[in-house]
Copies of this chain bind each other. A is one copy, B any other.
Amino acid sequence: MFEYHKTLQYPVKIDHPNPKLASIIITQYGGPDGELGASLRYLSQRYSMPFDELKGLLTDIGTEELGHLEMIGAIVHQLTRNLKDSQIEDSAFAPYFVDHTTGVYPTSASGFPFSAASIAVTGDPLADLTEDLAAEQKARVTYDNILRLSDDPDVNDAIKFLREREIIHFQRFGEAADLLRRKLHQKNIYAVNPAIDL
């Protein structure tokens, strides 16, 4: 079970509303490579993951990503506070606004509601960890692209923190894949499941 702590993992303090930027960043809330998908992927995969270290790693990172999801929600919320109607009308935020006002809804930037079709849980430890390596790379790219589109230093400070965490998670999943291969008595670097191949 989970316990909530009222502080964000990393502070978010944004001074300037920017609904257009919010309509881009929402993709890390509910988009294909966002924090919801990340958290859900890891917290779901842990049931069938063998070895306590690996199960624990999935739980740890999955729980941390819940906190990242919260940070993205806070960024979107702060970017859309105190808007005037004219700021909405003229911006790319209007199609989002009509359905969600300034609430935080799990959707991609292009308006596709979050779908679990964008994550995989295969029940196979090697496939799941490789999926996770890909997930962290894809999340990193999305943060790269947000940084390319945003010039708000308040936003970028938080986004850089989140981006950095994805890189660290990528490394930890890489170590986990190595550990798994060793546990499975595999030598070759591009491992396949020995239970099936041998």
20 additional A-B residue pairs with CB within 8 Å, beyond A94-B149, A103-B124? A24-B98, A29-B44, A44-B104, A44-B105, A47-B103, A47-B104, A48-B101, A48-B104, A94-B109, A99-B122, A100-B122, A101-B122, A110-B110, A113-B117, A114-B114, A117-B118, A122-B138, A124-B141, A130-B134, A170-B190
Q: A17 at the A/B interface (Cβ < 8 Å)?
A: no
For this chain, the copies found in one complex come to 6
* B contact residues around A96 at 8 Å (CB): 109-110
Q: A146 at the A/B interface (Cβ < 8 Å)?
A: yes
From 17 to 65 in chain A, residues with beta carbon under 8 angstroms from any chain B beta carbon are 23-24, 27, 29-33, 36, 40, 43-45, 47-48, 59-60, 63-64
Given that A5-B1, A115-B115, A140-B192 are contacting pairs, would A124 and B101 also be in contact in the complex, using a CB cutoff of 8 Å? yes
* B contact residues around A33 at 8 Å (CB): 99, 120, 122
Interchain CA distance A133-B189 in the complex, whole Å? 12
* B contact residues around A114 at 8 Å (CB): 40, 114-116
Contact in complex: B2, A44 (CB < 8 Å): no
A111: which of B64, B110, B137 is its contact (CB, 8 Å)?
B110
The total of chain A residues at the interface (CB under 8 A) is 97
Q: A179 at the A/B interface (Cβ < 8 Å)?
A: no
Most buried by B among A3, A99, A122: A99
A12 to chain B, nearest CB (A): 11
Residue of B nearest to A114 (CB): B116
A56 to chain B, nearest CB (A): 9
Given that A40-B106, A59-B4, A105-B44 are contacting pairs, would A123 and B100 also be in contact in the complex, using a CB cutoff of 8 Å? yes
Contact in complex: B77, A48 (CB < 8 Å): yes
